[in-house]
Amino acid sequence: MTVGRQQGPGGIRRLLKAGSALALSLALAGCVGALGGRSIDEAVQANQLAATPRPASRTPEVDAREVAIAEREHPKILASFGGTYEDPEAEVAIARAVGRLVRASDEPWRSYRVTILNSPAINAFALPGGYVYVTRGLLALANDTSEVAAVIAHEMAHVTARHAFARAERAEAAAVASRVVQDVVQDPAVARLALASTQMSLARFSQIQELDADAVGIRTLARSGYDPYAAARFLTSMSRFAAYKTASPADDGSADFLSSHPSTPERIAQANAAAAAAAVAAGGDRDQDAYLKRVDGLMFGDDPVEGFVRGREFLHAKLGLAFAVPAGFTLENTARAVLATDRGGTAMRFDGADVKAGDDLIDYLTSGWINGLDPASVQTLSINGMPAATASAAARGYTYRVAVVRFGDQTFRFLFATRSLTPDFDRAFRETIGSFRPLGADEQARLQPLRIRIATVQPGDTAESLAARMAPVDRAVDLFRVFNGLGAGEQPAVGRKVKLIVDG
């Protein structure tokens, strides 16, 4: 969460989106429109020139509309994903992979610009015109160059197939159809059914694009000499990481039927089939040891300017504050707020409140931004010596608990929501706000970002003993296995290089 106040009006309504925002951040293979930056352009282009012969005929030109989209979206993407992440070793690894992929692609005349986003989220993005983003979180999860190349090849397939334009055209047509339905159809039930049908059509259209991009990307991956099974391996790792984050079993295929992406088992099965069809006798290059050497030292998790999630605790050195959520909650730090959910359906949001120094906290709570406020519930209290006020609300089937706390010259707020009111809900609210505290100077000085460090498995090492060497993280053994491509209960082989997550 970045430093600064957030606007209060409408905040409690946004809480309902907290759980879904957290789920979206864990979404598998989340391809969305984004702009590739320029941090490794020169390296990418150098590798392309070395790898790609110049065609004899005139090189096609990129559509000017594609460039316009890129220029418009560029600042939005950087603002949403923490800007760029500078890492020369990782940049070289990506540039070399792109050079090989371009040579083997359906449009070898294209130039690609790839930027590493300073985000712990595991994702990749593409815009028309050859702009591609990958997050440092994705680089941390990958276990070899072929897996990163698989992701980039998938994004390149979206570019060459002009999927972004096709989606935009389909969405525009759907919007027109929706307006016609709403204007003409008088029966609300019929209108809802027609709109739902339109949504399903759009979702399935996107699913088909994803599967097409998988197939084209895997074919390009194999032609470039990389292991074509890398796509299926990385999809599996993403599924395991999503299960780790939500403390739930791996994807069983029961995905939301309106999801824009096919269910993970379906994608993995098709990726394996495409790899088998494209595989060559040599099997393909994985480039594992060289890749792990290049990501040694890569920042893991939150950037210091956003604060840190350490297990169930959020700590922000610059703001000098910390709080913890109860057992069973999963914390997620975003640029705008800290979110948490539990498996019982409770959602939490922590952010800044737009309250000026000296303003009354009760006046803020009763200023009209909380729907369904119970005036009798508003009360003041002290949280670890800091002035605070709390309130309850109920609206549209949800129950809310709200707390605002004055911290120096700033005010912060906790927003809790649930559909199922139980004693555990109130207990979680009280426990969380009661944990809000200032950080001591020593704690602030000790807070450092986590990093990936590479170790070689020695005789006698196990997943458990290696995980014990990592920094305190939630369910360290499970996380060690996920980030090293190991299944449940699987042990790393002696002599293999593995990733550890350590302080500083």
DSSP state of 351: E
Domain CATH code at residue 463: 3.10.350
Is residue 125, in this structure, part of any structural domain at all?
yes
Q: Is residue 172 part of a domain?
A: yes
In a domain, 4, yes or no: no
Q: Going edge to edge, which strands form the sheet with 124-127? A: 113-117, 131-135, 124-127
- The reported pLDDT for the residue numbered 74 is 72
**84 and 155 in one domain?**
yes
Residue 6 lies in a domain: no
What is residue 325's DSSP assignment?
P
Query: How many residues comprise the chain?
Result: 504
SS3 72: helix
Tens of pLDDT, residues 202-232:
344 467 778 888 899 999 999 999 999 999 9
Sequence-separated (6 or more) residues with CB below 8 Å from residue 80: 335
CB 339 within 8 A of CB 347: yes
Q: What distance in Å separates the CA atoms of residue 394 and residue 151, rounded to the nearest whole number?
A: 44
375 with 412, same domain: the answer is yes
Q: Is the dihedral of CA 16, 17, 20, 21 positive or negative?
A: negative
Residue 204 confidence (pLDDT) = 43
Task: Choose the final residue of a domain: 429, 445, 461.
Answer: 445
Contact 404, 388 (CB under 8 A): yes
Q: Does 290 share its domain with 315?
A: no
Asked if the structure places residue 85 within a domain, the reply is yes
Domain that residue 456 falls in:
448-503
Q: Both 441 and 452 in a single domain? A: no
Residue 383 lies in a domain: yes
**Residue at which a domain ends, from 240, 272, 294:** 294
Report the pLDDT value the prediction gives residue 411, as an integer from 0 to 100: 96
User: Which of 445, 461, 494 lies at the terminal end of a domain, its last residue?
Assistant: 445
Cα three-residue angle 491-496-499, rounded to 5 degrees: 80
- Return the pLDDT at 208: 77
In the chain, which stretches have pLDDT less than 50? 3-39, 42-58, 169-186, 189-205, 248-260
Give me the number of domains the chain comprises. 3
Residue 311, pLDDT score: 84
Structure tokens at 421: 């009111």
Q: What stretches of 52-148 adopt beta strand conformation (E)?
A: 113-117, 124-127, 131-135
Print burial letters for 153-183: b (CB count within 10 Å at least 16), e (below 16).
bbbbbbbbeebbeebeebeeebeeeeeebee
CA distance linking residue 384 with residue 395, whole number of Å:
31
Quick check: is 491 in a domain? yes
* Shared domain check, 492 and 361: no
Res 79: pLDDT: 82
Say yes or no: 241 and 332 in one domain.
no
User: Would you state the pLDDT for residue 404?
Assistant: 97
